[in-house]
Amino acid sequence: MASSPPPVPAGVRVRVPAKINLALKVGAPRADGYHPLATVYQAVSVYDEVHAAWADPDEFEVVVSGEGADQVPLDDSNLAVRAAKLLARRHGPYDSLGAKLSIKKSIPVAGGLAGGSANGAAALLACAVLWDLDVTPEGLHALAAELGSDVPFALLGGTAVGSGRGEEVAPALARGTYHWVLAFGYHGLSTATVYRRYDELRPRAAPPQVPADLMNALRSGDPKRLGRALVNDLEPVALDLQPRLRTVLQAGLEYGALGALVSGSGPTCAFLVDGESAAVDLSVSLSAEGVCRAVRHATGPVAGARVVN
């Protein structure tokens, strides 16, 4: 008896984490306007989910629910839609492919946690599996890099060094699991605006390098060392644009965090703490202080985008 072909999945669900930058060193803008980065990413346990289902050929639509859903565009500027279309154009019989995408958000929009990039990465993976395309991990990585600077890391996950404009990623040697308390801001920050202001404040930024003390701290697995080594060149810019973030950072340190920084282009503040009960204590204290919109406990590193059904 001839064996039947494998069933085509009705839908594919991908879970994808947020990232924080443990170090973010930023150079002067390149000829293309992007900034050379030396960064260390860590994927943390705050997840968005992207579900992809078949749609008519050349039909691409997206619906969004959850945290900040009303701020996510539903047109072709949506990174998940752009990802699905790019994948179909480059790796599929474009005329016969379409997708209904549904995004469930927990990662705040415009929070410095690469939520939009995470959605792009998840859509790439979900559609590649849904459409059963013959695309290698390297092929997906190349498309991810075209979509945005943080998208390749969202596929990779873990702890990784990022260079170029952030899109060149290599796993970093890191020991242990770290506990983070994330304080979400009331208002988002536009990444492009933050970089523009960075150029005004630091017109002659030096070529960026990942700090050796941070890499050594990660290798040692000692959260106290890591707490002291956290660094973000964009933090003064985020504080300039949203001065109340200074109060948030100070409050976290006064309540015992081992280290504190603004994540990426902000405004989310990330506090490193010494284990689970310290995370609970700090979360309660920050919530009671009322200095931020919401507080989340997260651990890292966690895996990058993964199929979950």
* SS3 state of residue 23: strand
Residue 125 CB, shortest distance to ligand C5P, in Å, is: 18
Tokens coding 105: 């958000």
Nearer to ligand C5P, 54 or 195 (CB): 195
Nearer to ligand C5P, 35 or 85 (CB): 35
Identify which range of 30-38, 58-66, 200-208, 210-218 contacts ligand C5P by CB under 6 A: 30-38
Decide: is 34 part of the binding site for ligand C5P (CB under 6 A).
yes
75 is a catalytic site residue: no
Query: Which 125-154 residues touch ligand C5P, going by CB under 6 A?
Result: 148-150
DSSP state string for 100-151: EEEEEE-SPTTSSS-HHHHHHHHHHHHHHHHTT----HHHHHHHHHHH-TTH
Nearer to ligand C5P, 29 or 139 (CB): 29
Q: How many residues does the chain have?
A: 309
- Taking CB under 6 A as the rule, which mask of x and - marks residues 162-201 in contact with ligand C5P? ---xx------------------------xx--x------
DSSP lists the bridge partners of residue 303 as 157
User: Are the C-beta atoms of 240 and 265 separated by less than 8 Å?
Assistant: no
Residue 119 CB, shortest distance to ligand C5P, in Å, is: 12
Candidates 48, 150, 213, 222; catalytic one: 150
Q: Which residue has the tokens 């994948």?
A: 87
Decide: is 37 part of the binding site for ligand C5P (CB under 6 A).
yes
Q: Select the residue interacting with ligand C5P from 35, 51, 141, 297 (CB under 6 A).
A: 35
Nearer to ligand C5P, 34 or 54 (CB): 34
The torsion defined by the Cα of 287, 46, 308 and 119, in degrees rounded to 10, comes to 120
Residue 81 CB, shortest distance to ligand C5P, in Å, is: 15
User: Are the C-beta atoms of 144 and 153 separated by less than 8 Å?
Assistant: no
Q: Which residue has the tokens 């701290």?
A: 217
CB atoms within 10 A of CB 170: 9
19 is a catalytic site residue: yes
Candidates 19, 25, 85, 105; catalytic one: 19
CA distances from 96 to 57, 83, 93, 103, 115 (A): 4, 16, 6, 23, 29
Nearer to ligand C5P, 34 or 94 (CB): 34
Which positions touch ligand C5P (CB under 6 A)? 34-35, 37, 148-150, 165-166, 191-192, 195
The set of catalytic residues is: 19, 150
